[in-house]
Amino acid sequence: MASTWKGLLAAGASLLSLGLVSTGAVGALGAQAVQAAGRYGGTLNIEITNDPPGLDPATVLDNDAGYVMATLYDGLTAYKPGTTQVVPGLATHWKITNGGKTYIFYLRHGVTFSDGTPFNAQAVAQWIDHLINPKNPDYYAKQKGIQTFVPFTWGNVTGYKVLGPYTIEVNMKSPNGEFLADLAMVWDGVTSPTAVAKWGSQYYEHPSGTGPFVLEKWVKGQYLEVKANPHYWGGRPYLSSIIFQEIPNQATQFLALRTGRVDILTDVAPNEVASIRSDSHLRLLAEPGLADNAVSLPVQVKPFSDVRVRQALNYAVNKALLDKTLYGGLAQVMNSPLPKVAFGYDPKIPAYPYDPQKARQLLAAAGYPHGFTATMVVYTGARGYNPIGGQELATAIQAQLAQVGVKLKLDIVDPTTWLGMIRNPNFHLMTLTGWTGDNGDPDDMISPLFNGNAFTTGNSSHYNNPQVNALFASALESSNPAVRAHDYDIIQKKIMADAPWIFLNYPDMLRAESTSVHGFVPNPTYFYFNMNQVWLSR
Amino acid sequence: MLNLIVRRLLLAIPVMFGVLVAVFVGLHVLPGNVAQAIGGPHATAAQIALITRQLGLDKPIYVQFWVYLSQVVRGQLGTSLRTHDPVTVDLMQAFPYTLQLTLAAFVLASLVGVAAGMVAAVYRNSWLDSALMSLVLVGISMPVFWTGILLMLLFAVDLPWFPLSGVLSPGLTVPGPTGLPVLDGLLTGNWAGFGDALSHLVLPAVTLATYTVAFIARMTRAAMVEVLQQDYLRTARAKGLAGPVVVFKHALRNAALPVVTVMGIQLGTLLSGAVLTETIFAIPGLGRLTITSILFRDYPEVQGIVLLAALLFVLVNLLTDVLYGLLDPRIRYQ
Model pLDDT for residues A405-423, shown as the tens digit of each residue: 999 999 999 887 888 788 8
Answer whether residue B285 shows pLDDT above 80.
Answer: yes
Instruction: Of A204-213, A283-292, B20-29, give the lowest mean pLDDT range.
Output: B20-29
* Residue B159 in contact with partner chain A when CB distance is under 8 A: no
Residues of chain B contacting residue A223, judged by C-beta atoms under 8 Å apart: 166, 170
Average pLDDT for A75-90: 95
Average pLDDT for A162-179: 94
CB contact under 8 Å between A151 and B82, yes or no, is no
ipTM, two decimals, is 0.86
Which H or E run includes A18?
none
Which has the closest alpha carbon to A205: B297, B83, B293? Answer: B83
Residues of chain B contacting residue A457, judged by C-beta atoms under 8 Å apart: 36, 39-45, 48
Q: Point out the residue among A61, A143, A414 whose CB comes nearest to the CB of B84.
A: A143
Query: How many angstroms separate the Cα of A374 from the Cα of each of A295, A301, A302, B96?
Result: 13, 11, 10, 49
Answer whether residue A93 shows pLDDT above 70.
Answer: yes
Which has the closest alpha carbon to A329: A395, A387, A278? Answer: A387
- Best interface-test mutation with A: which of B151, B164, B276 has the largest number of A CBs within 10 A? B164
pTM: 0.87
Residue of higher predicted confidence among A349 and B17: A349
Answer whether residue A26 shows pLDDT above 60.
Answer: no
Answer whether residue A53 shows pLDDT above 50.
Answer: yes
CA A225/CA B187 separation, integer angstroms: 28
Can you say whether residue B162 is alpha, beta or left, with left for phi > 0 and alpha for psi between -120 and 50 degrees? beta
What percent helix, strand, coil does chain A show, rounded to 5?
Answer: 35, 20, 45
Average pLDDT for A154-163: 95
Torsion angles phi and psi, residue B32, rounded to 5: -70, 120
CA B217/CA B209 separation, integer angstroms: 12
Q: What is the mean pLDDT of chain A?
A: 89
CB contact under 8 Å between A423 and B41, yes or no, is yes
**Beta carbons of A443 and A475 less than 8 angstroms apart:** yes
Which has the closest alpha carbon to A78: A439, A361, A522? Answer: A439
CB contact under 8 Å between B33 and A420, yes or no, is yes
Residues of chain B contacting residue A22, judged by C-beta atoms under 8 Å apart: 158
Q: Point out the residue among B84, B145, B153 whose CB comes nearest to the CB of A21.
A: B153
* Residue B22 in contact with partner chain A when CB distance is under 8 A: no
- pLDDT score recorded for residue B171: 82
**Beta carbons of B79 and B290 less than 8 angstroms apart:** no
Residues of chain A contacting residue B78, judged by C-beta atoms under 8 Å apart: none
Q: Is the dihedral of CA B52, B58, B59, B64 positive or negative?
A: positive
CB contact under 8 Å between A8 and B33, yes or no, is no
Average pLDDT for A139-153: 84
Confidence of residue A296 (pLDDT cuts 50, 70, 90): very high
- pLDDT score recorded for residue A15: 34
Residue of higher predicted confidence among A239 and A456: A239
Confidence of residue A314 (pLDDT cuts 50, 70, 90): very high
What confidence tens digit (pLDDT) does each residue in B189-243 have? 999 999 999 999 999 999 999 988 888 898 889 888 888 888 887 787 777 777 7
Average pLDDT for B10-33: 82
Q: Going by DSSP bridges, is the β-strand pair A430-436/A373-379 parallel, antiparallel, or unpaired?
A: parallel
Q: Point out the residue among A24, A149, A221 whose CB comes nearest to the CB of B284.
A: A221
Q: Point out the residue among B45, B54, B150 whose CB comes nearest to the CB of A144.
A: B54
- pLDDT score recorded for residue B245: 73
Confidence of residue A228 (pLDDT cuts 50, 70, 90): very high
- Best interface-test mutation with A: which of B82, B100, B289, B298 has the largest number of A CBs within 10 A? B82
Residues of chain A contacting residue B297, judged by C-beta atoms under 8 Å apart: 416, 420
- pLDDT score recorded for residue A29: 35
Answer whether residue B258 shows pLDDT above 90.
Answer: no
CB contact under 8 Å between A243 and B282, yes or no, is no
Neighbouring residues of A401: CB distance < 8 A, sequence distance ≥ 6: A313, A316, A317, A407, A408
Q: Which residue of A has its CA nearest to B39?
A: A147
CB contact under 8 Å between B297 and A420, yes or no, is yes
- Best interface-test mutation with B: which of A149, A252, A447 has the largest number of B CBs within 10 A? A252
What confidence tens digit (pLDDT) does each residue in B92-127 have? 999 999 999 999 999 999 899 988 998 898 888 899
Can you say whether residue B301 is alpha, beta or left, with left for phi > 0 and alpha for psi between -120 and 50 degrees? alpha
- pLDDT score recorded for residue B102: 92
Residues of chain A contacting residue B97, judged by C-beta atoms under 8 Å apart: 221
* Residue B41 in contact with partner chain A when CB distance is under 8 A: yes
Average pLDDT for A152-176: 95
Residue B241, min C-alpha distance to chain A (Å)? 51
Strand segments (E) across A395-478: 407-413, 430-436
Answer whether residue A21 shows pLDDT above 50.
Answer: no
Candidate ranges A309-323, B130-144, B303-317; pick with highest mean pLDDT:
A309-323
Q: Point out the residue among A53, A225, A243 whose CB comes nearest to the CB of B82.
A: A53
Residues of chain B contacting residue A418, judged by C-beta atoms under 8 Å apart: 32
Residues of chain B contacting residue A217, judged by C-beta atoms under 8 Å apart: 171
CB contact under 8 Å between A252 and B291, yes or no, is no
CB contact under 8 Å between A413 and B164, yes or no, is no
Neighbouring residues of A408: CB distance < 8 A, sequence distance ≥ 6: A373, A374, A375, A376, A394, A397, A398, A401, A402, A430
- pLDDT score recorded for residue B195: 94
* Residue B82 in contact with partner chain A when CB distance is under 8 A: yes
Neighbouring-strand partners of residue A214: A227
Instruction: Of B13-27, B218-232, B315-329, give the lowest mean pLDDT range.
Output: B315-329
Q: Is the dihedral of CA A496, A500, A505, A507 positive or negative?
A: negative
Domains of chain B: 96-145+208-327 (1.10.3720.10)
Confidence of residue B32 (pLDDT cuts 50, 70, 90): low
* End-to-end C-alpha distance for chain A, whole angstroms: 33
- Classify residue B189 as exposed, middle or buried by CB count within 10 Å of its CB (0-12, 13-18, 19+): exposed
- pLDDT score recorded for residue A247: 94
Answer whether residue A8 shows pLDDT above 80.
Answer: no
- % of chain A beyond a pLDDT of 70: 93
Q: Which residue of A has its CA nearest to B29?
A: A417
Q: Is A419 helix (H, G, I), strand (E, B) or coil?
A: helix
CB contact under 8 Å between A201 and B84, yes or no, is yes
CA A488/CA A486 separation, integer angstroms: 6
Q: Point out the residue among A22, A151, A249 whose CB comes nearest to the CB of B158.
A: A22
Which has the closest alpha carbon to A448: A498, A428, A438? Answer: A438
Q: Is the dihedral of CA A408, A413, A415, A421 positive or negative?
A: negative
Query: How many angstroms separate the Cα of B257 from the Cα of each of A32, B108, B251, B311, B326?
Result: 65, 19, 11, 24, 10
Average pLDDT for A191-195: 97
Which H or E run includes A217?
strand A213-219
What confidence tens digit (pLDDT) does each residue in B139-172 have? 888 888 899 999 999 999 999 899 999 999 888 8
Residue B299, min C-alpha distance to chain A (Å)? 12
CB contact under 8 Å between A249 and B279, yes or no, is yes
- pLDDT score recorded for residue A455: 65
CB contact under 8 Å between B83 and A54, yes or no, is yes
